Structure 1
Amino acid sequence: MHSPGRFAHLHRIQQLDPEVDFDEILRLTARFEFPWDYVQGTGIAFMRDYGIPSIAALLDRTREFEDHGVKRYDDTILIGDEATLDGIDSTRSHAALRRLNRIHGHYDIPQDELAYVLATTIVGPVRWIEAYGWRSLDPHELVAITRVTTRFGELMGIKGLPTTYDGYLTLLVDYERQHFAHTPASTRLAEASIRIAREVAPPPLRPLLRRVTIAVMDEPLREALGLPRQPRWFVRSVRRGLRLRGRLLRLAPPRRTAYAHRPTTYPDGHRLEDLGPLAMLDALNTKESHA
């Protein structure tokens, strides 16, 4: 059983050409069909970065998660929004990615790490939707999401990126097999991220949020982050609850308005000039004005 019109967005997606209409397909998938799932999958994806010791060491050193966690969380989502809301090759997107490149330019980040982080941003949401979404992703959606991800990476200057979802999945799995390892920095970052999530979550969800977050992690990720194993019954209950939510959503009418992130940091709205580490803003904005 499903709600009348439940598959209206999917039917629209299936009529579009993912090689041409990738921006529109991504908008329908991420902002209408699976907005909550996309956010959760992306959140778990960011945690994977902490399982790579060299990435964890840099992120830990900046102290952005410890000292300005909610701003760091909001800025990451908002730069992604700026890059995709008007289309990946829009003026707005190019401005956002120039800014992201300037932020990254303050650090010596190897290409393979940038490619891995990019892979997490596509694999995380897709895996989450496969596990807990109210329907499976259509092949058109996978092609479109991949096209936008690869273009995002190209605009960051990353070379030799995959052109298929399976290519990104292989990149991620192989990289983690070679590099995943626990360090004290990975645990500090994971705990800081869980505190951020607790801060922005509705109050009734806060007490169990840490345990639920751990329960949805795969074992290699949980071990790399050095987080405590949860009881098997609890893990099963959490995952069963998420799958039940997905089944119930089939009965809901299709979403009529696009999901938009509401940043705690900027209750009255933001400008691109607001995004980035506080200590870097003056330098970033001076560069922007001379660009």
Structure 2
Amino acid sequence: MSSQAIKDPPYLQTLIPPEILAPRDRFARARYIASLDPEADCEQIGFLLASCEFPWDTTRALELALLRTFGVAKGTPLLVETGELIRRTQKRYDDTALILAEIQENGVDHPRGRAALKRMNQQHGRYAIPQDEYLYTLTTFVFEPIRWNARFGWRRMSEAERLATFHVWRRIGARMGIRAIPDSYAELERFNMEFERANFRYSEHNHALAVATRNLMLGWLLPRSLWPAAAPVTHALLDAPMLRAVGLDPAPAPVRGLVLGGMALRRRVLRHLPPRRRPRLLTRQRHHSYPRGYRIEELGADR
């Protein structure tokens, strides 16, 4: 079934009261989330955070999570060898975004969520990927949205929301067959930081992947001739260890100041705007690689 043929709302959306999906009070969803259990209701909370409270922020944070995995030099030769992220960067981005969206918008045990997990596991199963690299990638999906929110969110995530983010990705990781996922948020965060300290180092493969992905993002907004001038804007959002690991130049101080100042202004303005009254669903949007819709079983590499 193609994405355009889907009539019903995503499964997780059906569990949420209409007055929470379309609230008049800016903080109604935050109060509703506070009434839920961060482990038992983690998927519902994750849906609200990603599709209602912070949709733009979540998308940007997960893009940075993808970039962050390119700082691990021991894993990037395989990514370059497959050619998917260099020659078909847009398709690989869309495939990843749609597979994750099917899981996050429907849940790991919904038929569409299970189909997306099966497709993701089929793609990964072609390669001998070490468990620690699998686990590290999972941690970026947990912590990059949380860290982005702490810097730029119109409101801060509560402890329950951060825990729910941990539990939903831990649930996804278990379905991916990732072994030895830590039982606690603190343990997983410690693994994330220690892994980066031990494995972030520059390589040409890191750089090639980071440049291809950065240019993809710039290409959504700007003609190619403006990419060199706009690249520092992207670099301003990355920390020094990440920049060194992928061989990107730090943004000049004035550019970094403008970018971070602009994001701070955005945060203050959004706090006083009316709440979003309709979930932003990636599975219902048009995508560059699939303008006529997609089938879950066809997402990913063809070979």
CA distance in 1, matches of 2:209, 2:182: 28
Is 2:9 aligned against 1:9? no
Is 2:248 aligned against 1:227? yes
Q: Counterpart of 1:253?
A: 274
CA distance in 1, matches of 2:230, 2:112: 35
Is 2:262 aligned against 1:244? no
CA drift at 1:202: 6.6
Q: Counterpart of 2:4?
A: none
Q: Counterpart of 1:88?
A: 108
CA distance in 1, matches of 2:107, 2:160: 17
Q: Could you tell me which amino acid in structure 1 is paired with residue 231 of structure 2?
A: R
Counterpart of 1:85 in 2: which secondary structure? helix
CA drift at 1:268: 2.0
| Aligned residues: CA RMSD | 1.8
CA drift at 1:53: 0.9
Structure 1 unaligned regions, length at least 5: 281-291
Counterpart of 1:54 in 2: which secondary structure? coil
Q: Could you tell me which amino acid in structure 2 is paired with residue 172 of structure 1?
A: N
Scaled by the length of structure 2, the TM-score of the pair is: 0.87
Q: Using the TM superposition, name which of 160-169 and 220-229 deviates more.
A: 160-169
Deviations along 1:92-128, one digit per CA (max 9) or x if unpaired, are: 2122111111111111101111000000111111100
CA distance in 2, matches of 1:5, 1:167: 36
Q: Counterpart of 1:127?
A: 147
After the TM superposition, which parts of structure 1 deviate over 3 Å for at least 4 consecutive aligned residues? 206-209
Q: Counterpart of 1:284?
A: none
Question: Are the counterparts in 2 of residues 97 and 155 from structure 1 also a CA contact under 8 Å?
Answer: yes
Counterpart of 2:45 in 1: which secondary structure? helix
Is 2:289 aligned against 1:265? yes
Question: Are the counterparts in 2 of residues 215 and 234 from structure 1 also a CA contact under 8 Å?
Answer: yes
CA distance in 2, matches of 1:140, 1:69: 35
Deviations along 1:157-210, one digit per CA (max 9) or x if unpaired, are: 11111233332221111001111100011111011001211233377xx65542
Scaled by the length of structure 1, the TM-score of the pair is: 0.90
CA drift at 1:34: 0.5
CA distance in 2, matches of 1:41, 1:73: 14
Is 2:97 aligned against 1:77? yes
CA drift at 1:142: 1.1
Is 2:129 aligned against 1:109? yes
Number of aligned residues = 276
Aligned with residue 171 of structure 2, among 140, 145, 151: 151
Counterpart of 2:207 in 1: which secondary structure? helix
Q: Counterpart of 1:66?
A: 86
Is 2:53 aligned against 1:38? no
Counterpart of 1:234 in 2: which secondary structure? helix
CA distance in 1, matches of 2:258, 2:80: 33
CA distance in 2, matches of 1:166, 1:253: 34
CA distance in 1, matches of 2:214, 2:150: 23
Question: Are the counterparts in 2 of residues 88 and 148 from structure 1 also a CA contact under 8 Å?
Answer: no
Q: Using the TM superposition, name which of 12-21 and 114-123 deviates more.
A: 12-21
Q: Could you tell me which amino acid in structure 2 is paired with residue 119 of structure 1?
A: T
CA drift at 1:219: 0.3
Q: Evaluate the alpha carbon distance shift between residue 202 and residue 35 of structure 1 in structure 2; reply closer, same or farther with a 3 A threshold.
A: farther
Deviations along 1:120-162, one digit per CA (max 9) or x if unpaired, are: 1111111001100001101121121111100111011111112
Question: Are the counterparts in 2 of residues 55 and 113 from structure 1 also a CA contact under 8 Å?
Answer: yes
Q: Could you tell me which amino acid in structure 2 is paired with residue 74 of structure 1?
A: D
Q: Could you tell me which amino acid in structure 1 is paired with residue 32 of structure 2?
A: R
CA distance in 2, matches of 1:114, 1:269: 29
Is 2:232 aligned against 1:211? yes
CA distance in 1, matches of 2:60, 2:277: 21
Counterpart of 1:276 in 2: which secondary structure? coil
